[in-house]
């Protein structure tokens, strides 16, 4: 697994041991260019695929730690490739590497992968993106995903919720985040948007019930929940969730119920930190007015989303 390949040295240097990377790209000259950048690093074991079906086959065969995946591929579209690889090689991290910059497509890709590199910036972004993914962070090339809190939210729900998560992370200085929508019939939470998490984490927390973890506690109490140290907080003590979260590198979390002005809770917004006891004052940069705006957006989409 990728996390197992990273070791922090005393001086802060990151050492990567024998990382298997699969490069999936149909344009041979660009594929060779990417491979040349990777082969400069002795610890990278590089394999190649030139179309979507070959990528799926090789991912199952070699079980790579990291996949650099184009989107416009022959035989099978890159988004569908990512979906199949998640089932066949669940520990692999996926970094999309594409010339496409459409916001909806980028958002869809980020729901399946650990990051998105825009091809025009590949020479600049490739190695920093890999380093970010190895440390459990998500990487997106500049200009692809709006994060300014002053910009209006997209009318596309999935993209808008991804923007919400990105803004929340920026506001509080977090490392990761997710937004869960409440199923009012089952009374549980489902992840609708996220940034920075592994597939293992997302699968485990695909459904969270009332009172479970920080998000379920925020839902049941109706109030903001701040966990300063996941390792020692009673909310997580003795649970499998604690193990999964700590293995993800998360040490602190904040969960905020998404409440409309009328008082209806439609979901929970959570931000996650790699350090224990992050500054409390930063937590409250996510304001009630921002939360109400997000809650109203979800409620306005009707029963299918609430």
- For the stretch 108-124, pLDDT in tens is 888 888 789 999 889 99
For 65-126, the DSSP string reads SEEEE-SS-SSS-HHHHHHHHHHHSTT-EEEEEES---HHHHHHHHTTSSEEEEGGGHHHHH
Q: Name the pairing type of β-strands 207-209 and 115-118.
A: unpaired
CA 96, 58, 42 angle in degrees (round to 5)?
A: 70
The pLDDT mean for the chain works out to 86
pLDDT of residue 79: 93
Distances (CA, A) of 111 to 79, 122, 158, 219, 252: 10, 21, 9, 23, 23
What's residue 200's pLDDT? 86
pLDDT for the residue 156: 65
Contacts of 23 (CB under 8 A, 6+ apart): 31, 34, 35, 38, 46, 47, 48, 49, 68
Contacts (Cβ under 8 Å, ≥6 apart) of 99: 72, 118, 119, 120
The CA angle 31-32-33, to the nearest 5 degrees, is 90
Mark the ranges of the chain whose per-residue pLDDT is less than 50. Answer: 1-11, 13-16, 147-150, 153, 303-306
Closest by Cα among 102, 100, 178, 185 to 138: 178
Give the pLDDT confidence score for residue 135 in this predicted structure.
Answer: 77
CATH homologous superfamily for the domain 3-140: Response regulator (3.40.50.2300)
Res 302: pLDDT: 53
pLDDT at 213: 94
pLDDT the model gives residue 101 = 83
Query: What pLDDT does 289 receive?
Result: 84
Segments making up each domain of the chain, as ranges: 3-140, 157-300
CATH architecture of 157-300: 2-Layer Sandwich (3.30)
pLDDT, residue 8, reads 47
Please state whether the predicted TM-score (pTM) of the whole model is above 0.75. no
């Amino acid at each position: 697994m990728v996390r197992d390949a990273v070791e922090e040295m005393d001086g802060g240097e990151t050492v990567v041991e024998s990382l298997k990377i699969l490069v999936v790209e149909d344009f041979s000259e660009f594929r060779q260019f990417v491979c040349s950048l990777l082969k400069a690093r002795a610890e990278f074991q590089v394999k190649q695929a030139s179309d979507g079906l070959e990528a799926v086959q090789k991912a199952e065969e070699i079980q790579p730690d990291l996949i650099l995946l184009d989107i416009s591929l022959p035989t099978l579209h890159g988004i569908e490739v990512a979906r199949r690889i998640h089932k066949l090689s669940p520990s692999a991290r996926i970094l999309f590497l594409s010339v496409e910059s459409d916001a909806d497509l980028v958002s869809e890709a980020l729901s399946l992968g650990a990051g998105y590199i825009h091809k025009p910036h590949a020479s600049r972004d490739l190695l920093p993106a890999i380093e970010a993914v190895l440390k459990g962070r998500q990487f997106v090339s500049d200009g692809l995903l709006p994060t300014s809190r002053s910009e209006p939210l997209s009318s596309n729900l999935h993209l808008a919720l991804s923007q919400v998560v990105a803004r929340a992370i920026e506001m509080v200085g977090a490392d990761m985040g997710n937004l869960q929508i409440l199923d009012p019939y089952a009374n549980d939470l489902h992840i609708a948007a996220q940034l920075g998490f592994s597939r293992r984490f997302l699968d485990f927390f695909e459904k969270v019930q009332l009172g479970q973890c920080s998000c379920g506690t925020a839902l049941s109490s109706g109030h903001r929940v701040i966990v300063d140290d996941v390792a020692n907080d009673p909310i997580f003590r003795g649970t499998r969730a604690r193990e999964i979260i700590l293995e993800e590198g998360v040490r602190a979390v904040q969960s905020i119920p998404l409440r409309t002005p009328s008082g209806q809770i439609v979901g929970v917004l959570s931000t996650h930190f790699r350090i224990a006891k992050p500054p409390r004052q930063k937590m409250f940069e996510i304001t009630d007015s921002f939360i109400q705006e997000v809650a109203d957006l979800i409620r306005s989409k009707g029963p299918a989303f609430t």
